[in-house]
Chain A
Amino acid sequence: MRWRFVFSEMMIGFRRNLSMTVATILTIWIALTGLGAAWLMHQQTNATKDYWFGKIQISVFLTKDVTQPERDAIRSQLQSLPQVDQVYYESKQEAWIHFKEQFKSVPQLVKNTDPSALPESYRVKLKDPKKFQIVASAVQDMPGVDQVAAEAQALKKIFRLLGGLQNVMLIVAAAVLLASVLLIFNNVRLAAFSRRRETGIMRLVGASDVYIQAPFILEITTAAFIGGVLASAAMFAIKALIVDHGLKSAFGGILTYIGWDAVWGTIPYLLLAGVLIAAVTAFGTLQRYLRV
């Protein structure tokens, strides 16, 4: 294989179809950005779920004047439910310790809070976090129960938001991906047509399929690779702007956030996806429009 020759043929092709190549780079960029963003959203949702579902899902706060028989009745009611995995008791003192821990960044709040104002509670871990409604309704009207807080409910909104964002990204990505496949198809067909004189002679003098097709495939996969690099840059922008800036300021410390490692992790897949889509489409097009 004389790579210098193949490479120079590829560069001739690049110059010849410059506008089409730029269009290919741009659509691949947008398509892969959509795919990558959807993947990041998915990971963000999982990170949040892992964080939350590993912890207490329901808090049953007790009234200030709760009696010992009432406490026992609530505990045994909770423990009798099949959806419940474990029940922890949190006294007023423990509640104060956790409160101080949670708000240590806001000393003013800790200072102004009366330790006795914090209620004692049962912290309930569920076998299936989605079944919190059944457990909540089973205990919320019992004497001694002040209120049942299902934190999972608040999280549902976040999950819905992330899920929605993810679906929008996927739809956009699918549409643009289809557009880029069609564009590559046209681009390669056009290139094959404009170079039919060269390829005709190549076939005639006995050039192998690889030699004839390599410049076309290299040309389009290089364009796709550039699109993949641009999409990778977009991943960093999404992490910085949407995750760190948008989500963190909206939801603060109640979520865990994907780190830069998740961003780095998507990049090889984006580059690979771009190159594979381009190579497969180009190869398929050439089988049809560049018969040997």
Chain B
Amino acid sequence: MIRFESVTKLYPSSARPALDGVTVDIEKGEFVFLVGQSGSGKSTFLRLVLKEEKPSRGQIWVAGKELSRLSHWKVPALRRQIGTVFQDFRLLPNKTVRENVAFALEVIGKPRHTIAQVVPEVLDLVGLAGKEDRMPDELSGGEQQRVAVARAFVNRPMILLADEPTGNLDPSTSVGIMRLLDRINRTGTTVVMATHDSHIVDSMRRRVIELEGGKVTRDQSRGVYGYAR
């Protein structure tokens, strides 16, 4: 589903590569933790999958397509197959919960009746039924992140990328979000989650890819956050 082959990413502002010869293969339906310190290349990895950045060297395949051969105007189609969740939720403050989720479908031109049908379903899935008309600032952090997950998942993407989704949440709320991501993973969606949270990684026992200074230092199925921690 996602394949990196000797991918190196250099930013013009830095002499040290953000990613350095990374080769990784993530299968359809996998749940993968991407761990490592800040600046180890986790976010660069996710940005490369979204084609927000181009690799300096190497090749990347996402959903069967080699990204360097994907023309500019086909990038939106690629991104429709990928849902993304961030640490800071990125909700629109002047729209309700329902409108925030519907926005993701409106801007890709989905018909109204489809939106009217799909949005309540996904809000039910993430456990926000009954809170459709709340504004984001009336919700707790965990609930806001559920809205963000609903928005990422409402178009039923094949891949869900999560960049520190529990970074702003307390441990018990984080567990709820992880359960939600796990449930989404069980529907067949490939989930890649970048995280610092060792408790979550250790409790989930899923595949762990560790990055350090842009290199893969560990790739372990059913892994834990770190050996020596």
In A2-56, the 8 Å CB interface with B consists of 2, 5
Do the beta carbons of B106 and A2 come within 8 Å of each other? yes
B139 lies within 8 A of chain A by Cβ: no
Contact status A205-B155, CB under 8 Å: yes
- Residues of B with C-beta under 8 A to A206: 75-82, 108, 155
Instruction: Find chain B residues with CB under 8 A from A208 CB.
Output: 73, 76, 108
A204–B155 Cα gap in the complex (Å)?
A: 12
The answer to whether residues A2 and B109 also contact, given A205-B151, A206-B78 and a CB cut-off of 8 A, is: yes
| A5-B80 contact, Cβ under 8 Å, with A197-B90, A292-B72 | no
Residues of B within 8 A of A99 (CB): none
Size category, B interface: 20 to 34
Task: Name which of A204, A208, A211 has the most chain B CB atoms within 10 A of its CB.
Answer: A204
In this assembly, does B169 line the interface, its C-beta being within 8 Å of a C-beta of chain A? no
Tell me whether A205 and B90 are in contact in the complex, defined as CB-CB below 8 angstroms, given that A211-B107, A211-B109 are known contacts.
no
Q: Is the CB of A204 within 8 A of B84?
A: yes
Query: Which of chain A's residues has its CB closest to B77's CB?
Result: A206
Contacts of B150 in A (CB 8 A): none
For B102, the closest partner residue in chain A by CB is: A5
Residues of B close to A209: CB separation below 8 A: 73, 76
Q: Quick check: A198 and B106 within 8 Å, CB to CB?
A: no
Question: Are A202 and B107 in contact, CB atoms less than 8 angstroms apart?
Answer: yes
Interface membership of A201, Cβ < 8 A: yes
Report how far A204 CA is from B107 CA in the complex, Å.
Answer: 11
Is A200 close to B, CB under 8 A? yes
- Please classify how large the interface on chain A is, using the bins under 10, 10 to 19, 20 to 34, 35 or more: 10 to 19
Known: A206-B78, A207-B76. A197 touches B92 (CB 8 A): yes
B73 touches A205 (CB 8 A): no
Check A5 against B92 for contact (C-beta < 8 Å). Answer: no
Question: Do B109 and A205 have beta carbons less than 8 Å apart?
Answer: no
A212–B103 CA distance with the chains assembled, in angstroms: 12
Residues of A within 8 A of B75 (CB): 206, 292
B50 contacts the other chain (CB 8 A): yes
A205 touches B107 (CB 8 A): yes
For the complex, give the distance between the alpha carbons of A204 and B77 in Å.
11
Chain A, residues 169-199, CB within 8 Å of chain B (1/0): the string is: 0000000000000000000000000000110
Task: Please name all residues of chain A whose beta carbon is closer than 8 Å to the beta carbon of B111 when the two chains form the complex.
Answer: 2
Which A residue sits closest to B78, measured CB to CB?
A: A206
Residues of B within 8 A of A204 (CB): 50, 79, 84
Contact string, B46-74, partner A, CB cutoff 8 A, digits 1/0?
00001000000000000000000000110
Give B76 Cβ to nearest chain A Cβ, in Å: 4
Residues in A neighbouring B77, C-beta threshold 8 A = 206
Once bound together, how far apart are the Cα atoms of A209 and B104, in whole Å?
14
Q: B106 to A201, Cβ gap below 8 A?
A: no
Instruction: Mark A64-97 against chain B: 1 for CB-CB distance below 8 A, else 0.
Output: 0000000000000000000000000000000000
Q: Which 9 residue pairs across A and B have the least CB separation, nearest first?
A: A206-B80, A206-B79, A207-B107, A206-B76, A205-B104, A202-B107, A5-B106, A208-B76, A204-B84
* Further 6 A-B residue pairs, CB within 8 A, beyond A2-B106, A206-B80, A211-B107: A201-B92, A201-B104, A206-B75, A206-B108, A209-B76, A292-B76
List residues of B whose CB falls within 8 A of some A CB: 50, 72-73, 75-84, 90, 92, 103-104, 106-109, 111-112, 151, 155
Interface of A with B (CB < 8 Å)?
Answer: 1-2, 5, 197-198, 200-209, 211-212, 292
